């Protein structure tokens, strides 16, 4: 069965430090991969997505993610975190040929001043 | 540009009362529509999705139902709410590419069942 795992429930980093949020997926074929961000009490906003081609994907707000097929991973990175990045981050998989998306349980990011 | 609306933004309802949450999309036609529920620490749970008017797929057995009376309108309903129905409900839409299109989310409805 398809699944998405975000092993870190909470992450705390200092402002200006680098960030990596982990995402592992289980899927039989090449998936469509997404990262979303959610501020408290709001909907989700797309950060970036991977469909095919270059495995390093650039997104909004200075985020990037790298698709590694051999590790079934799609980790999100940012070289220097800003206090406004504090939010919850969700990794998702779109299953080719279906209309369903599978979300991880999210990683809550706290940024220390 | 496309926009997605949800209302109400917040709702407090007693156990056993009915529910109706509405979602509308503007600026696109024939979208795929989705209802998710988000409980604290549990990520997003897909409740229903629809690929066309009157076409509803249910993902989780529960006392909720969904309807799509118009192309860009998606309604989540219940005849009798349970305490466990409390949560944050999100509506989303995507384009026609199965599994491959970006989902765009509404602002959500916070439902508290007392």
Please write the tens of the pLDDT for every residue from B81-92: 999 999 999 999
Q: Average pLDDT, stretch B93-113?
A: 86
pLDDT at B97: 65
CB contact under 8 A, B43 and A99: no
Give CA–CA dist A107/A7, Å, rounded: 8
Residue B14, both tokens: 């007693």
Residue of B nearest to A33 (CA): B100
Any CB–CB contact under 8 A between A1 and chain B? Answer: no
Residue B12, both tokens: 């407090």
- pLDDT digit string, tens, across residues A12-50: 999 999 999 999 998 877 788 999 999 988 899 999 999
Give CA–CA dist A34/A65, Å, rounded: 9
Which residues of chain A have a CB within 8 Å of the CB of B107? 42-43
Question: Three-state secondary structure along B53-111?
Answer: CCEEEECCCCCEEEEEEECCEEEEEECCCCHHHCEEEEEEEECCCCCCCCCEECCCEEE
Any CB–CB contact under 8 A between A101 and chain B? Answer: yes
Concatenated DSSP letters for B12-51?
EE-TT--EEEEEEEES-SS-EEEEEEE-TTS-EEEEEEEE
Of A45, A51, A104, the CB nearest to B100: A51
Read off the pLDDT band of B41 (50, 70, 90). low
Query: β-strand A107-112 against A10-14: which pairing, if any?
Result: parallel
């Amino acid at each position: 069965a398809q699944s998405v795992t975000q092993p870190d429930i909470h992450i705390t980093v200092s402002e200006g430090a680098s960030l990596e949020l982990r995402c592992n997926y289980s899927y039989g074929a090449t998936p469509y991969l997404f990262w979303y961000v959610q501020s408290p009490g709001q909907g989700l906003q797309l950060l970036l997505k991977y469909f095919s081609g270059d495995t390093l994907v650039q997104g909004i707000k200075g985020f990037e993610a790298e698709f590694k097929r051999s590790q079934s991973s799609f980790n999100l990175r940012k070289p220097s975190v800003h206090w406004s990045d504090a939010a919850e981050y969700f990794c998702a998989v779109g299953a080719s040929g279906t209309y369903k998306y599978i979300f991880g349980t999210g990683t809550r990011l706290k940024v220390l001043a | 540009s496309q926009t997605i609306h949800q209302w109400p933004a917040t709702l407090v309802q007693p156990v056993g009362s009915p529910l109706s949450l509405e979602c509308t999309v503007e600026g696109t036609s024939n979208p795929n529509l989705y209802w998710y529920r988000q409980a604290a620490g549990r990520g997003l749970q897909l409740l229903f999705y629809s690929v066309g008017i009157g076409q509803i797929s249910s993902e989780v057995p529960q006392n909720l139902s969904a309807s799509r009376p118009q192309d860009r309108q998606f309604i989540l309903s219940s005849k009798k709410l349970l305490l466990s129905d409390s949560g944050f409900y999100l509506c989303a839409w995507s384009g026609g590419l199965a599994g491959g299109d970006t989902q765009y989310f509404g602002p959500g409805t916070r439902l508290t069942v007392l």
